[in-house]
Structure 1
Amino acid sequence: MTAEVLVVGAGPTGMTMANELRLAGVSCVLADRLSRASELSKAGGLQSRTQEALDQRGLLEPLLATGDYPVSTAHFAGTLLPLVRTRHQFPWRSLPQVMLEGFLEKHLAAQGIRIRRNHELVGLRQDADGVTGTFADGTAIRAQYLVAADGGRSTVRKLLGAEFSGRPGTATTVAADVRLSAEVPMHTITPEGYRAQVFPLGVDAEGRPLRRLVLGGPGWSLERDVPVTEDEIRTGLKTVFGDRVELVELRYARRITNAALQAAQYRHGRVFLAGDAAHVHLPLGAQGMNAGIQDAMNLGWKLAAAVRGTAPEGLLDSYHAERHPVGAAVLRNVQAQSLLLDDGPDSAAARSLFAELVQVPEVQYLLDDMLSGMGFRYAMPGSEEHPLVGLPAHDLGPELRAGRGVLVDPGRRFGELAARWADRVNRVETGTEAMLVRPDGYVAWAGAPDGLEPAIRQWFGAPVG
């Protein structure tokens, strides 16, 4: 069996990658070791930048129409950031990962892409021309490139022998999908350091609200494989909330660690690591899922260009150059949050001081840019001087739905130049400022007219003919 790209892992990262390749007309096989979709929501929300990217693909509105996903207040280590609630066009939303995965799987199926389930990768071989993945059932799939989106315990990463370094897990907390008897605050920390985080997970088949509950505190850290019991959940709720709330139903529970690990290289020849295969950390703010989706958005169009033969030199390497610093920044902020959430007396003092600092609006804005993904700026050699370059382009809407580059030309000055790249870049005459936007929604050029052609060549290669 052959494909232009083999994607291993059908979570949000892998399915986003498959959709990006589909938009570019690139064939892919999307394989997953599970026999059916997971019922576990490892993440519970969508950050602003991810929603913006989904909107630019025409997917956000139909996704939100599938359920009730309320706007929530962002937080840093349990300290709420109310001033940023309406700062961006798309504020943070409570949207369970399992709902996003179900939506994306249906969307891909409607486009003719079906997940090959029960496909466990057991072997990997690459050469100068492509990659061959071997699966447990004896199936072999040959592709030009392979994307590893197979999670924190990535088989692909292990088969590569890729360096995955950082801090291993030193403690665990409990994460559970539950029904509770009453509403409780989203974030609660007792003076003794016991803590609970509660996020909405939509409703069950009977319309009853479900919640993601995270519990931690002194003496709570047990080995990751120790089963979580109902009695443990009940004791935790009573410790944090007293008699205000009781456990009605426990749907699922597991222990999560505070490991903070990142692949040293995201590219290994024709194999690329994305999502949790490239970076793992304590789940706070759904940053892992959102970073993985952004990994796929960044890499998808670049792989498509390589398959088509239009990729300029260095384009595939720019994936690691751009996304590795983002992953490292996410790990840093999660580790800082983990420290603030620790149950030691020094952490309590740090939380108290931090709560005062967060009252400063500029501090909330800084944290919001960090958590939402809106503040990450890619280096664009030769064009960094302009304040828009390297940042997401907002309000383009339908112009990016085709997954192509966009030249915004309100002054109608660049029609002749744009025509030479018409097979890769759409030109629109709307907007107020001329800019070149990559398929992933980031501004690659704005400002001096003589910089446009070098920028197009840098990101989209030589013109045809």
Structure 2
Amino acid sequence: MDTDVLIVGAGPTGLTLANELRLAGVPAVLVDKLAQRSTLSKAGGVQSRTQEAFDQRGLLEPLLATGNYPIGTAHFAGITLPLTRDRHRHPWRSIPQVVIEGFLEQHLAAQDIHVLRDHELTGIAQDEDGVTATFARGGVVRSRYLVAADGGRSTVRSLLGAEFPGRPGTMTTVAADVRLGGDDQAMTHARSEDGHWVSVFPLGTDPQGRPLRRLALGGPGRSLPREVPVTEDEIREGLRAVFGSRVRLLELRYARRITNAARQAARYRHGRVFLAGDAAHVHLPIGAQGMNTGIQDALNLGWKLGAAVHGWAPEHLLDTYHTERHPVAAAVLRNVQAQSLLMDQQGARDPDLTATKELFAALTGLREVQYHLDDMLSGMGIRYPIPGAEEQPLVGLPAPSRDLGPVRSHELLRRGRGVLIDPDDRFAKVAARWQDRVDRTGQGADAEPMLIRPDGYVCWAGNPDDLEPALGHWFGEPR
């Protein structure tokens, strides 16, 4: 074997996975077909759960220190959810994808892990022992496992012939990175009476300290073929149709047309090859849910691949990647399709749709509705089908951060290992059998006992008799 894991694609998903494998002590090779990293912002928002995961790895503070990334308010279909702003430890933030990619790539480089660029994959073949990947320039890499993190038009997925069912794009909208001038209060979700609409989100500032914004626009007659270039005049016309003279374009940095295609791979695992990120699911980019879902794919898969390479993974463990992550992305596709419909992106102004949105907007005034939508959009409501989830409120959910005296519980996950919180030292003898892969702490007299997987999800709480089976289920036979 040349390496244990070959990661194809150096976007947020691939870079996050490379860092997870580094923590697991697993050699990996990370390749990308681009000769240099993209400078386009692409996605622009980071969910609470993704920030929590970065914090669990000690990466959030240094990431936030790289610039000015404003806190935003969650929205569903352009309807703001103000009651959710302070619900979670880490509120929604606007951090461009290009910043996250640059930060993660530099972090890996500091650990002597470098992206091999200008490596275009042309073929893969797998057998019972590993995967052989060939590249356009004649290179060959042999690995135990291969992970496709190479985007919505995944070469790996194509070479596998993997099913990618769903709906093709039926329309396009414009997405652009811009500097705007004029009325700051107007720069939000807005719609004209004739169906034209504009959405504006903060993207931090440029090196001169000037505010940057992500802009999306659409409406009647604005769904043009994807290959038609977006012009400054088109942006100006779209702004004028909604804001009049209150908002003007100062600078267009980048623009593209995006479609509402919605597809998801039927299977995330194909033998020794796994699909992650946009290679596994694509949808209209609303709320940066694609980037966040991809990062969380990597967090789920990384420690499991590490366990398989080190030889202690239970037989079922790698299969849980599909069973846990496939439903999550399916739910994202559904909420994005619902938002797209309610936003009336083609400006049809159907009276039935207008009535539906008015009713929905009224319902979002209810605290319970806002909290439900926030749990869905923030990622904090994800609950994996983990044994015991039916009986124990914490099991299957992201682990809460608890004060354990000298540290908080999330800080214990920075080694990428399992964590047993055992405040009464009741389970020291049992935990000692798994001490090579699970850390135990007796700190925090008021904390409830819980077992946390390396990806930050609770896999046991409550019944003492269930702890040893849970350790075996997730961390294999003890040594």
2:460 partner letter: W
- Identity in percent: 70
TM alignment of 1:17-56, pairs within 5 A: 17-56=17-56
- Deviation at residue 190 of structure 1 after TM alignment: 2.1
Q: What residue is the counterpart of 1:353 in the other structure?
A: 359
Q: What residue is the counterpart of 2:406 in the other structure?
A: none
- Deviation at residue 420 of structure 1 after TM alignment: 0.5
1:405 aligns with 2:411: no
1:335 aligns with 2:337: yes
Q: What residue is the counterpart of 2:391 in the other structure?
A: 385
Q: What residue is the counterpart of 1:458 in the other structure?
A: 473
Over 3 Å counting, the alpha-carbon distance change for 1:357 and 1:383 in structure 2 is: closer
User: 2:193, 2:360 → 1: CA distance?
Assistant: 15
Check whether the contact 2:70–2:203 (CA below 8 A) recurs between aligned residues. Answer: no
Check whether the contact 1:42–1:97 (CA below 8 A) recurs between aligned residues. Answer: yes
- Deviation at residue 127 of structure 1 after TM alignment: 0.6
Q: Unaligned stretches of 5+ in structure 1?
A: none
Q: Over residues 48-76 of structure 1, what are the superposed CA-to-partner deviations in whole Å (9 max), with x where a residue is unaligned?
A: 00000000000001100111111100000
Over 3 Å counting, the alpha-carbon distance change for 1:384 and 1:313 in structure 2 is: farther
* SS of aligned partner of 2:317: coil
Q: Over residues 71-105 of structure 1, what are the superposed CA-to-partner deviations in whole Å (9 max), with x where a residue is unaligned?
A: 10000010000000001110000111111111111
1:348 partner letter: T
TM-score, normalization: structure 1?
0.98
2:113 partner letter: I
1:440 aligns with 2:455: yes
User: 1:193, 1:427 → 2: CA distance?
Assistant: 58
Check whether the contact 1:21–1:28 (CA below 8 A) recurs between aligned residues. Answer: yes
Q: Over residues 256-283 of structure 1, what are the superposed CA-to-partner deviations in whole Å (9 max), with x where a residue is unaligned?
A: 0001100000000000000000000000
Q: Over residues 19-75 of structure 1, what are the superposed CA-to-partner deviations in whole Å (9 max), with x where a residue is unaligned?
A: 000001000001011111111122101100000000000000110011111110000
Q: What residue is the counterpart of 2:404 in the other structure?
A: none
Q: What residue is the counterpart of 1:208 in the other structure?
A: 210
- Deviation at residue 382 of structure 1 after TM alignment: 4.4
What RMSD over aligned residues (CA atoms) do the two structures have, in Å? 1.0
Q: What residue is the counterpart of 1:86 in the other structure?
A: 86
* SS of aligned partner of 1:417: helix
Q: What residue is the counterpart of 1:177 in the other structure?
A: 177
The size of the alignment, in residue pairs, is 464
* SS of aligned partner of 1:237: helix
User: 2:427, 2:207 → 1: CA distance?
Assistant: 54
User: 2:391, 2:36 → 1: CA distance?
Assistant: 49
Residue number among 271, 286, 289 corresponding to 2:288 in the alignment:
286
User: 2:469, 2:320 → 1: CA distance?
Assistant: 16
Check whether the contact 2:187–2:247 (CA below 8 A) recurs between aligned residues. Answer: no
Q: What residue is the counterpart of 1:423 in the other structure?
A: 436
Extract structure 1 runs of 4+ deviating beyond 4 A.
Answer: none
* SS of aligned partner of 1:93: coil
Check whether the contact 2:277–2:294 (CA below 8 A) recurs between aligned residues. Answer: yes
Q: Over residues 340-368 of structure 1, what are the superposed CA-to-partner deviations in whole Å (9 max), with x where a residue is unaligned?
A: 01122233222222111100110000000
* SS of aligned partner of 2:415: coil
- Deviation at residue 193 of structure 1 after TM alignment: 2.0
User: 2:88, 2:260 → 1: CA distance?
Assistant: 30
Q: Over residues 124-162 of structure 1, what are the superposed CA-to-partner deviations in whole Å (9 max), with x where a residue is unaligned?
A: 111100011111111111110011000000000000000
Q: Unaligned stretches of 5+ in structure 2?
A: 402-408
Check whether the contact 1:383–1:451 (CA below 8 A) recurs between aligned residues. Answer: no
Q: What residue is the counterpart of 1:195 in the other structure?
A: 197
User: 1:355, 1:218 → 2: CA distance?
Assistant: 23
- Deviation at residue 249 of structure 1 after TM alignment: 1.1
* Range moving further from structure 2, 156-165 or 33-42: 33-42
* SS of aligned partner of 1:246: strand
2:93 partner letter: R
User: 1:351, 1:192 → 2: CA distance?
Assistant: 16
Check whether the contact 2:45–2:288 (CA below 8 A) recurs between aligned residues. Answer: yes
- Deviation at residue 459 of structure 1 after TM alignment: 0.3
Q: What residue is the counterpart of 2:237 in the other structure?
A: 235
* SS of aligned partner of 1:117: coil
* SS of aligned partner of 1:210: strand
TM-score, normalization: structure 2?
0.95
* SS of aligned partner of 2:174: strand
Check whether the contact 1:193–1:348 (CA below 8 A) recurs between aligned residues. Answer: no
User: 2:8, 2:241 → 1: CA distance?
Assistant: 42
